[in-house]
Amino acid sequence: MVRNLFIVLLLTLTSLYNTAVSQTLNWTTLDNTNTKHILNVNFGLDYSVSYGIGYGYKLDTKLPIVLNANFSLPSGENIFDDFKTKLGGQVNLLNMSNFIGSVSVFGIYRRYENQLVRLQNFGSEMRGAFGYYKPKWFVAAEVGFDKAIVTHFKHSKTYRETIFLDVKDGWYEPATGGNFLYGIQTGYSFKKSDLTLNIGKVTTQDFKTTPLVPYYLMLGYNYRITH
């Protein structure tokens, strides 16, 4: 029983930190310019203070699509004990005058380590946004789901001596470890740059428990490079 509760807690932590980190785009500026590459830096509060970098590549397609790669890590004494990578893309599915709806899908690899255990997790994230976009500014509602799909556990000597001696290392497919998020994204655009803000709330997938920090906030900066 103790071990199962411990696993649930760790999976919640791995799926919680850096939930909000991804490139937030002003689709109007992408449509009205020859933007091809998008560089991004960001920092925010999501379980801890975290920092990230990202890259986006806009495809030459009729339906606007941006491929993304992101890397983020929380602040701390051993910063590379925990980190997160995301690969995926965003697509503009709905464009009615200045009202735009988009969907993003990412594959996620996370690493989390403390004195008791080292976890390596593969997961996924899906997110949708709908709002009002202008060349200089935008505001949109966003909803998403971040899921820890499978996790590898490597338990420390301390864990075995203090919690459970015969614990087994290996891969586990969790029955929990997912978070819903919902909030607002907004931003202001310059000639080649965007300043963005994401703010919202996080809730676990069973809707019965509350994450340690049930809110997220992220500030981002995009630099757009044309052909």
pLDDT band at 18 (very low <50, low <70, confident <90, very high): very low
12 pLDDT higher than 60: no
90 pLDDT higher than 80: yes
Looking at the chain, the whole-number percentage of residues with pLDDT higher than 90 is 47
Calculate mean pLDDT across residues 184-209.
90
Which residue has better confidence, 125 or 173?
Answer: 125
209 pLDDT higher than 60: yes
Q: Is the dihedral of CA 44, 45, 51, 53 positive or negative?
A: negative
What is the identity of the amino acid at 209? T
Q: Which residues neighbour 208 within 8 Å (Cβ) at sequence distance 6 or greater?
A: none
Is-contact 164 157, C-beta < 8 A? Answer: no
Calculate mean pLDDT across residues 81-99.
91
Q: What is the model's pLDDT at position 114? A: 82
Calculate mean pLDDT across residues 29-33.
79
| Other beta carbons within 10 Å of 66 | 21
pLDDT band at 46 (very low <50, low <70, confident <90, very high): low
Q: What is the model's pLDDT at position 1? A: 44
- What token pair was written down for 173? 């497919």
d(CA 215, CA 171): 30
Which residue has better confidence, 80 or 190?
Answer: 190
- What token pair was written down for 18? 């850096």
Calculate mean pLDDT across residues 203-218.
80
60 pLDDT higher than 70: yes
Q: What is the model's pLDDT at position 59? A: 94
Q: pLDDT (tens digit, 9 = 90+) per residue, 177-188?
A: 788 999 999 999
Predicted TM-score of the model (pTM): 0.85
Calculate mean pLDDT across residues 125-142.
96
Would you state the torsion angle of the CA atoms of residues 54, 58, 59, 60, taken in this order, to the nearest 10 degrees?
A: -170
d(CA 199, CA 218): 7
Which residue has better confidence, 60 or 78?
Answer: 60
Calculate mean pLDDT across residues 93-111.
94
